[in-house]
Structure 1
Amino acid sequence: MKLLVTGVKGQLGYDVVREGESRGLEMFGTDVDNMDITDAGQVKQVIEDYKPDALIHCAAYTAVDAAEDNQELCRKINVDGTRNIAEVCKTMDIPMMYFSTDYIFNGQGENFWKEDDEKQPLNVYGQTKYEGELAVQELVQKHFILRISWVFGVNGNNFIKTMLRLGKERGAVGVVSDQIGSPTYTYDLARLVIDMIQTDKYGAYHVTNDGLCSWYEFACEIFRQAGLDVKVTPLTTAEYPAKAARPFNSRMSKEKLINAGFKMLPEWQDALRRYLEILQ
């Protein structure tokens, strides 16, 4: 099977290519240097030349706070870039996988979000990822949409790396305690991605590691497992002002994933343990 993966230099794209290669699949990773997704002509040329059996679209603008000041660039990458890829996948009848986010929901209440619940993005990043979803749904009949949250991987920056750095530098951190969700380890996610892309079980799914926590609880567990003595102070969202609004409730139902016969990702604490072993 030949797979084209965008955003190969990012956390997820990097792990997806490695996972595919480890299973003997023919993987072709692209990034802005060899396929600028905002350039429709270049996208068409690269995909037509490679002729993949499926396309896994990991490239995205993910700087959530910066997106508030760079709306045009964020939209160009997350919406226009996604549409450029979807147009070619439609023409060539190539299955496409797109990654979205918990940020497409309004983040209120305590219920688990289901795939078809109303979309009310809270910020520019969430809005553009939702518009990307709509482009994929509109153009590509054979599509997968995977909504993920709190992503961490070896290749790139993330919350865990930030906490470890700040913890060592300062010995104390303040972390938001009233936003609840599930971390997602790109290594575990990549294994599911390669499983899923080889099926025809198209549609939207919620995929994260198993279990829930607040960012505060996540930070406490990071320091506990890393063996670092760091004072962690719980903060409310109001006490930790950020440019982009964040959801309080990022609980996402995995029922559809289970019903489709896919294997759930391991518990987030286990994912964190394995991740720290690699970092250390």
Structure 2
Amino acid sequence: MRKYVFISLILFLTACSTSSKKGGTSNVSQDQNDISSESLIEDSSAEKSGKTSEKNKIQATQRDNLKSEKNTSDPSNLYSQLNTFIKQQNEVAILDEGSKILMKKPNDTKALNAMAMVYYKRAQYGLAKDLLYKAIKFQPTYEVYSNLGIVYLATKEQTEALQSFKKAIELNPDDNVSATNAGSIYIKEHDYDKAVVALEIPYKKGIRDYRILNNYAVALTAQGKYEQAESVYKEALKQSSNSRELLLNYSILLIDQLKRYQDGLDIIQKLKFIGLPDGARSKVQELEYIARKERK
């Protein structure tokens, strides 16, 4: 297999759940139902209601704090405000409410995890790590390990990130977030067998984000499972028909592996119309040359 392919490093965040339900709402695709119900950082496409000003957020926090004071004696209400602020992505309120919870429960994993992800978003990675380390010390959960892996990626500690994702999967074999991110790393390391195992987790759960599908198809191609890889590429293109990386990788499969030269040329023509990925011009020219030569 030619190694010139485009992969997607996909970062999803998870938040500790206070519910026994395992479902949730995806950050990226409406077809994803199991990534995270309380993601603190979402793609801009998920912000359908517009951004709230910092002043309004603070005012809303003050009003909610008055209400929360009445509920602090009831353990079942301990996280009600924090959950609300997580859904609102209100960083100021998350830090404030998390601090209040830690005053009552200094080792509370939910609060530590939520606050850590705010610091991650602010690129304060040291603070994020410290909080996640503390959470792991007292109550290691797969959500915390998953988010620690993402922080490690931000600080370019890929080995540590992969270990964190693997630990998360050990604790929860159905953890789509960690499996997705681990799969991306395995592909970067050209460990395609492990990548397939990891990426099968979100795929079998019905998650159809085109970036995950792209990585899965790349790994399947490396294993020689060409027909299965083509099927996955077709699924991905239904989600993002104009993805330049998808189109290029699919054309490589069609021309280099499946020897379907005209089909590959058709994809390349579409790719040239949309615009080539950065650095892909020489590869596209090579594919065109091979396809036109062999087609005769």
TM-score (normalizing by structure 2): 0.27
Greater relative contact order structure (CA < 8 Å, 6+ sep): 1
- TM-score by length of structure 1 reads 0.28
Whichever of the two has the greater Rg, that structure is 2
**Structure with the bigger percentage of helix:** 2
